[in-house]
Structure 1
Amino acid sequence: MAVETRDGDAVQADVERTSSRILEIIGVKGKVTEAGAMAAPCSDFDPAEEVNRARHPWSLYDAPFADMQRGMDRLRTELPKDGWTITKDGRDGTQGNSPQIVAESKGGEFAVDVRLHRASKAEKSEDLLEVTVESACYRSK
């Protein structure tokens, strides 16, 4: 499998820009976790090959559940208009069986996984939209 050689910092910046666009499409006012993109080993390769992908996991919370549902609906409509292909739109199969959208950007440079979690009183959790944006695998320059 051919892997591009890229500047890791540039890939992370691209992933963060893509995350910002996803948040813009969701269009929900709430709080967003602050963590930035980071390099992670690409599981498709032997670790000795030093092939990575940039991952940016974040969550949107402290917003009404109905607003987050509408944000998921906007993703369904707007991602394809932005050149993304939705590869999964259903339930994630976890115990909470959360709604999930998985999509790939045109050209396969990025993937996004979005899950809508309902608050659980038993776990003392809150409603949140969990988003992970990641790049295609690359070799660092």
Structure 2
Amino acid sequence: MTDRKYSAVRRRRCARLIIPFIALVGTFAVGCSDVQKLNYEPEELSVDSARSKTKSVSSQLLEMIGVKGKVTQPGPGLAKCDDEPDAKDLYIMNHPWSVYGVSNDILKQGMENLRKSLPERGWKILKDGETKSVARDPEILAENKKLRYAAHIVWMRTSASGRPMINVTVVSGCFRAPAGTDINKEY
């Protein structure tokens, strides 16, 4: 499978996981299917601009982690806010990425850095605990209402690949595509 096809498959899989994540966060939208139920007016933004904004948020989170490891490369992907006819122009951005290639001691420090830096940078930590998985990996769920982004961060002390990593999933609130944009043709 080519890198481009792999990235597209990963984004689609991630989009299916993002919907429950947004429901868990629950601050961006009471329901994206009906604009009147949103607790904010979605910013009108081209998909490329939203992708750039999401990359910037991810970069800020990476800076807060403060770990000089390897970082996965796939960029932000688009998912529809909902398939309702009146919401054809609403979409979210999601950006899953990981930091790896360093020891668990260094990754532990990265999680500590986040606990300190997130609140200082306008993020509210909604959950700071363990995953419900057998591994009971440390996780942080945070939101930034001003930016309209949420982040789910999991320190996988032992991943399926055998290497420890911090997995980060960044999700935006809803954006409104400019008139004439067919979000079905975007990735």
Question: How do 1:1-141 residues align onto structure 2 when only pairs under 5 Å count?
Answer: 1-2=37-38, 3-4=41-42, 5-42=44-81, 45-48=82-85, 49-50=87-88, 51-107=90-146, 109-119=148-158, 123-141=160-178
Amino acid at match of 1:93: K
- Note if contact 1:6-1:139 (Cα within 8 Å) is conserved in structure 2: yes
C-alpha RMSD of the superposition: 1.6
Shift of 1:118: 1.4
Amino acid at match of 2:96: P
Which structure shows the bigger proportion of residues in strand conformation?
1
Which structure shows the bigger proportion of residues in helix conformation?
2
Shift of 1:95: 2.2
Moved over 4 A (4+): none
SS in 2 for 1:36: coil
> Structure 1 CA distance, aligned partners of 2:156 and 2:136?
9
SS in 1 for 2:133: coil
Question: Could you state the TM-score of these two structures normalised by the residue count of structure 2?
Answer: 0.68
Unaligned runs of 5+ in 1: none
> Structure 2 CA distance, aligned partners of 1:65 and 1:74?
14
- CA deviations 1:67-94 (Å, max 9, x no partner) are 1111101101111000110011001112
SS in 2 for 1:69: helix
Shift of 1:9: 1.5
Unaligned runs of 5+ in 2: 1-36, 179-187
Shift of 1:108: 5.3
Amino acid at match of 1:22: L
Q: Size of the alignment, in residue pairs?
A: 137
- Note if contact 1:60-1:130 (Cα within 8 Å) is conserved in structure 2: yes
Q: Name the larger-Rg structure.
A: 2
Identity of aligned residues (%): 35
